[in-house]
Structure 1
């Protein structure tokens, strides 16, 4: 169990001097939670049927029995709701993050393929959409590993983000201990990302939100019309945009569920809000992994050395400097070479030495310069070393 003290202070009055790409006043992330097919079911060995987060707001779990009405509510999300949301955002060229429950995507792999082909992010939403407080620590640890394995196989790349949702007291520790996640989102504590300590170096928390979230349609005292949903989202955006104009940019998360926002009467106000954000022209609409990478490059902890970074953090901090650099640094990390460097100068020298050791074709791939000459690539390596030095010297 985690015994870390609560942080009741955070950034307080003095938030970081955030500079979102393009000078945006607010960073907006839309999140589609894909959970359908991984909810509680006696067919999957659970003690009772699902009773949470559907149109049947007063439903209770049925011990030892199926709830076919509840099941069909969830099935709407995978059969129809996801595709309505997919069209809504892809037609507007708005990137987003899918919180994918591994078992759910495993049962509908076309959703995973469409998500990847759209250039969206799949972040892990655990292996099952259940209350993780019902699991032992070892069981939950196994779910983390299983989720990573399945999502990697479905998408072709390891997930870098994590959101449990119905978390236990072990959830955060298990995710941080894994060491392969750039960020997690099991927090609602701030309007900006923040760092926490972890066994593999600093770990980034990108907070989520339950107020700007369609779950309020299916919870007591929530939204009862599309106009309420649109107005609340717009009011939130307008206020954050105004703070950004005053030099205090923040982030805004919009949480969606296929079986909820995927209904026509809720997709309509969502589309209105998406169009409003686009018309304002003041937002950076991004995937959560993009925001996490931006934060890693521009707001990492003061004095942090490459040897103190986790593998995903190292790749995020420098991976944008050359097309193949992220994977190259991942290899150096796996070999233990990065961890043995004594400081920034030693790290830059390591990168330069190892790049020069590659053959001409490998270096050309690294810089996306097929057919480049030895002289051109030597110049590229020198420029890369200078860029690494400039990033390490940039104020945090």
Structure 2
């Protein structure tokens, strides 16, 4: 695998966002509930990571399933209400099996103007997956989400590690315009005509998990706002994009949702910020930086 450790160093592109915005902000809501590994669903093991880490082997784990159930039952409504209050549109990065379990949620998110993208079939890494299996997983996920959402998805993000062939398979599939399987920049970049939109694990509510560093709501909002302010300042002269990662079952908790509301209020008070679904960011980048047709 080729590694590029230089990136745009010494030649960072100028801003290109609509209406002269100096920063593109992408909120990503991960929809994984119902797609976590579960022996009860026929998987070979149960998911072992939540806010508590406990591995139940060989038998179904109703406790873990109940933890994941909180997101769609309560968290989702709090999150979309916060977005609606500020006119913000997000990307709902959705596992195929979760979409099958939550068609009402997917349809509601589309109705509100949000993007639905692909997050794998199950909530799992693709590391070590053989090419034919992965090709099938990509096709199945895309077809299922397109059918349920009523809009064909154009973006992909794998949980944790991809395989070496993931991006090539996404390009081969022909319906994906971007992927978020990178964490190496604050600027989008191109691989041919395919856009890579780097994602981030630091400005992400996953850090409320054990050992992640976030405990109180203000831990999340303070950290995210600090990142926003830095990128906003840099965006006066060079292209900058910020990703903020969310999960239904994490930020949607009563003691945490205020953090998302605080971040949205802070961003909304700043001029020259473009909050957009990732498909719009990818298309804008391709239009300004892609090869002429």
If the length of structure 2 is used for normalisation, what is the TM-score? 0.95
Residue 131 of structure 1 deviates from its aligned partner by 2.6
Pick the aligned partner of 2:46 from 32, 39, 49.
49
Q: CA deviation at 1:249?
A: 3.3
Q: Is the partner of 2:86 in helix, strand or coil?
A: coil
Alignment of 1:1-396 (within 5 A): 3=1, 5-52=2-49, 54-56=50-52, 58-60=53-55, 62-133=56-127, 135-166=129-160, 167-197=162-192, 202-245=193-236, 247-301=237-291, 304-305=292-293
CA pair 169-64 structure 1, distance change in 2 beyond 3 A: farther
Structure holding more helix per residue: 1
- Separation in structure 1 between the aligned mates of residue 272 and residue 259 of structure 2, nearest angstrom: 20
Q: CA RMSD in A?
A: 1.4
Residue 141 of structure 1 deviates from its aligned partner by: 1.4
Would you say the 8 A contact 1:183–1:204 is kept in 2?
yes
> Within 2, Cα distance between the matches of 1:122 and 1:96?
9
Distance verdict in 2 for CA 1:226–1:126, change over 3 Å = same
CA distance in 1, matches of 2:10, 2:61: 49
Higher relative contact order (CA 8 A, sep 6+): 2
SS in 2 for 1:151: helix
Q: Distance in 1 between matches of 2:212 and 2:80?
A: 28
Query: Structure 1 CA distance, aligned partners of 2:130 and 2:73?
Result: 33
Distance 1:297 1:223 in 2: 38
SS across alignment from 2:274: strand
Q: Does the 8 A contact of 1:209 with 1:255 survive in 2?
A: yes
Helix, strand or coil for the counterpart of 1:241? helix
2:16–2:285 contact (8 Å) kept in structure 1:
no
Match of 1:91, SS?
A: helix
Report the equivalent of 1:319.
none
How far is 1:91 from its partner?
Answer: 2.5
CA contact (8 A) 2:51 2:210 kept: no
The alignment partner of 1:165 has SS state of coil
Indicate conservation of the 8 Å contact 2:74/2:252, yes or no: yes
CA distance in 2, matches of 1:138, 1:90: 41
Closer/same/farther in 2, CA of residues 121 and 26 from structure 1, 3 Å limit = same
Deviations 1:269-322 (A, max 9, x none): 110110010011231011101101111111113xx43xxxxxxxxxxxxxxxxx
Shift of 1:78: 1.6
Higher gyration radius (CA):
1
- Report the Cα offset of residue 244 of structure 1: 1.6
Alpha-carbon shift at residue 66 of structure 1 (Å): 1.9
Instruction: Determine the C-alpha separation between the residues in 2 that align with 1:12 and 1:79.
Output: 45
- Give TM-score, length-normalised by structure 1: 0.71
Contact 1:47–1:63 (8 Å) recurs in 2? no
Paired with 1:140 and 1:161, the residues of 2 have a C-alpha distance of 16
Runs of 4+ in 1 over 6 A off after TM superposition: none
Q: Deviation of residue 63 (structure 1)?
A: 2.5
Which consecutive residues of structure 2, in runs of 5 or more, have no partner in the other structure?
none
Structure 1 residue ranges without an equivalent (≥5): 306-396
Check whether the contact 1:55–1:218 (CA below 8 A) recurs between aligned residues.
yes
